[in-house]
Amino acid sequence: MLGSLRKGLLLTTAGISALVCFACVSLFAWYSYQYQVKQLSARSAELGDLLSIHVSQLMSQQPHEWADAFERVLRPNSHLLNVHVYLYNSQDELEFRSSYNRAGIAPITTRIQSEGGSAVLRAPQIRPQGIDYIVPIMAPPPAQQTLRAVQPTQRGYLFTRTDHSGLAEARQTFAVLALLAVSLAVLMALLMASLLSGLFTRPLNQLIHTSAEVARTRDYSIRAKRAPFYEIDVLSHNLNTVLKRIQQSIQERDKAQAASAALNRELEQQVTERTSALRQANHELLETLEQLHQHQGHQVEAQKLSSLSELVAGISHEINTPLGLAVTAASMLEEQIKAAPEQSLQHEQVDILQRNLTRAVELMNDFKKIAIDHASEHASAVDFNQMLEDIMTSARAVSEYRGKLADNVTVSIESELRQPIMAKVGIWQQIITSLYDNSLTHAFSHTSDPAITVSVHVVDQRLRICWHDNGCGVPADILRRIFDPFVTTKRGQGNSGLGMHVVYNLVTHTLGGSIRCRSEAEQGFEVTIECAFDYAN
């Protein structure tokens, strides 16, 4: 787990301050202790030297007098604990002569032999019981001799032990002072560290807050503030540089994405436009191809019709002449027979001949309709509604159903055709008459309430005429071939089957339109004609 920089700074500062203070106090205590030891050792040596001189002056007295002398000399000095005097006898052996022990202090054993020789304690030694010091006792020279001529002789040794209780007190005092100094140093270090840590960590906290705000909001326009310290200021500057580069990178990425999106939209639009253009071109190509096929079909049919027209015209021309002569001869023969009433049998035969010749002439007239060329007819401005009414009125006048259909023929025209249009009246008259005759001939043989409805509409700039009767309908096998020549449901009943074929030729070739038929059993017959038209100026 990561620790706080403030806490670490506090602990580090306090620890370093405590260590430095402890080292300084320890050094000072050690130095003071050594100075105290030196002072006590010097005092012990000074007392030993003084006592050695005093003992050398007592050499002329008896040993029992030394104790009193020691008592008088040493009692005022409270630092001396024990004093031993060792002198050489006549055999040059050291022997104990006298001692002094301060009141309350127990005597000690012989110290010279225990120290291993006289040279050991020529310097004061710190012992647990005190400061031990051994100094030689020198005999003074005779009074009549000069000091320069005779050297003093060594008569023995003096052992002293002085009190060093001041050292223990000094150690305790130094320990207390050291503890107080360390405690005060730690407190001062913590206080200073707290103040300094706030000063040092405040810019770091601001930097941390800035980075956290950037991470939270992803707003790379945020910038860190300047810091009062060089290192932190460099870190803030580097962070701002990174944020600036990230912001620039994001802006460039956004621009690239926007450009890419715009390019994609443009490409999609181009693809859509080109696809639409290609679809339109394909549609136009298909329409052109369909028109080409229709044109080819129309050309083939036109060629067939032209050939058929030429054939019919030629045959009709060739047959009309003998038929005309045969009809003339039959008429003359009929007049001759009428002049001789007794020849009734010949009269009946001539009548049969006359009727069949007349039928042959009618058939030839029907054949001629196929060869009639209406291209020479010019369009004229007509009221299409009035034209249909006139054509229907003329057709009803010659029909055996005129009484039944008088109120059952309905013609409806859109309001857009209330104004005159350009139309070939003869062609429309032949088309409407043929449809009317076709309905009367084939639709109403079993219908008690015949009705015909004609509706005219304008659809996509083209004229649409819907013819509908409520007759018996057309069988499916006949409906498929209804526009072929000589197709009829009443073969042998005086019908040639050329009516719908003529209508088809007039609509598709003369008017340039289209025609289709729809019929179901007992649901009537419907014819839809579409062709182009123009309004009259």
Beta strands in 114-174 (DSSP E): 125-126, 131-139, 153-162
SS3 label, residue 483: coil
Mean pLDDT of 242-256: 89
Tell me the CA distances in angstroms from 518 to 428, 474, 476, 515, 524, one per residue in order. 21, 9, 10, 10, 9
Q: By the 8 A CB rule, do 76 and 102 touch?
A: no
Residue 233 binned pLDDT confidence (cut-offs 50, 70, 90): confident
Q: Which residue would you say has higher pLDDT here, 467 or 50?
A: 467
pTM: 0.40
Identify the DSSP state of 511: S
Tell me the CA distances in angstroms from 326 to 117, 303, 351, 362, one per residue in order. 197, 34, 13, 14
Q: Among 300-314, 324-338, 345-359, 496-510, name the most confident range.
A: 496-510
Residue 526 binned pLDDT confidence (cut-offs 50, 70, 90): very high
Question: Would you state the structure tokens that stand for residue 182, as one six-digit string?
Answer: 């360390």
Q: What does the DSSP assignment read for 399-447?
A: -TTTTTTSSSEEEEE-GGGGS-EEE-HHHHHHHHHHHHHHHHHHTSTT-
Q: Is the pLDDT reported for residue 371 higher than 70?
A: no
Q: Is the pLDDT reported for residue 485 higher than 80?
A: no
pLDDT of 20? 77
Identify the DSSP state of 491: T
Q: Which residues are paired to 464 by β-bridges?
A: 457, 530
Mean pLDDT of 453-476: 88
Q: Among 104-108, 273-277, 382-386, name the most confident range.
A: 273-277
Q: Is the pLDDT reported for residue 241 higher than 80?
A: yes
pLDDT of 236? 85
Q: Which residue would you say has higher pLDDT here, 90 or 149?
A: 90
Mean pLDDT of 237-243: 87
Residue 151 binned pLDDT confidence (cut-offs 50, 70, 90): low
Mean pLDDT of 153-173: 75
Q: Among 111-125, 350-364, 402-416, 520-534, name the most confident range.
A: 520-534
Q: Which residue would you say has higher pLDDT here, 88 or 498?
A: 88
Identify the DSSP state of 459: E
pLDDT of 471? 84
pLDDT of 378? 77
Question: Would you state the structure tokens that stand for residue 218, as one six-digit string?
Answer: 């992803």
Residue 527 binned pLDDT confidence (cut-offs 50, 70, 90): very high
Mean pLDDT of 304-319: 62
Q: Is the pLDDT reported for residue 311 higher than 70?
A: no
Q: Is the pLDDT reported for residue 221 higher than 70?
A: yes
Task: Report how far residue 146's alpha carbon sits from residue 404's, in angstroms, rounded to the nearest whole number.
Answer: 199
SS3 label, residue 456: strand
Q: Is the pLDDT reported for residue 475 higher than 80?
A: yes
pLDDT digits (tens, 9 = 90+) for 7-37: 766 677 777 777 777 777 777 777 777 777 7
Q: By the 8 A CB rule, do 206 and 232 touch?
A: no
Q: Which residue has the tokens 């040639």?
A: 496
pLDDT of 76? 65
Task: Report how far residue 367's alpha carbon sits from residue 160's, in angstroms, rounded to the nearest whole number.
Answer: 179
Question: Would you state the structure tokens that stand for residue 113, as one six-digit string?
Answer: 């032999």
Task: With both helix axes pointing from N to C terminus, report the angle between 165-217 and 5-57 in degrees, rounded to the nearest 10.
Answer: 170
Percentage of the chain surpassing pLDDT 90? 5
Q: Which residue has the tokens 């009414």?
A: 389
Residues whose CB is less than 8 angstroms from the CB of residue 40 and which lie 6 or more positions away in sequence, other chains included = 124, 131, 162, 164, 166, 167
pLDDT digits (tens, 9 = 90+) for 73-129: 666 666 777 777 787 777 877 777 777 777 777 777 766 655 544 444 567 777 777
pLDDT of 259? 92
pLDDT of 466? 92
Tell me the CA distances in angstroms from 444 to 236, 408, 436, 483, one per residue in order. 105, 13, 11, 21
Structural domain boundaries in the chain: 5-142+149-171, 374-535
Mean pLDDT of 307-336: 68
Q: By the 8 A CB rule, do 359 and 352 touch?
A: no
Residue 65 binned pLDDT confidence (cut-offs 50, 70, 90): low
Task: Report how far residue 228's alpha carbon sits from residue 269's, in angstroms, rounded to the nearest whole number.
Answer: 58
Residues whose CB is less than 8 angstroms from the CB of residue 149 and which lie 6 or more positions away in sequence, other chains included = none
pLDDT of 1? 41
Q: Is the pLDDT reported for residue 395 higher than 80?
A: no
pLDDT digits (tens, 9 = 90+) for 419-435: 888 888 888 888 888 88
Q: By the 8 A CB rule, do 100 and 85 touch?
A: no
Q: By the 8 A CB rule, do 481 and 519 touch?
A: no
Mean pLDDT of 476-487: 80
What does the longest C-alpha to C-alpha distance in the chain come to? 242
Residue type, 441: T
Lowest mean pLDDT among 161-170, 297-306, 500-509: 297-306
- Domain 5-142+149-171 in CATH 3.30.2010: no
Q: By the 8 A CB rule, do 444 and 495 touch?
A: no
Q: Which residue would you say has higher pLDDT here, 297 or 436?
A: 436
Lowest mean pLDDT among 245-249, 260-264, 331-335: 331-335
Q: Is the pLDDT reported for residue 3 higher than 70?
A: no
Give Rg (Cα) of the chain.
78
pLDDT of 482? 83
Residue type, 71: E
The three-point CA angle 363-369-371 to 5° equals 115
Please name the fold of domain 374-535: Heat Shock Protein 90 (3.30.565)
Q: Is the pLDDT reported for residue 528 higher than 80?
A: yes
Residue type, 465: I
Q: By the 8 A CB rule, do 181 and 21 touch?
A: yes
Q: Is the pLDDT reported for residue 529 higher than 90?
A: yes
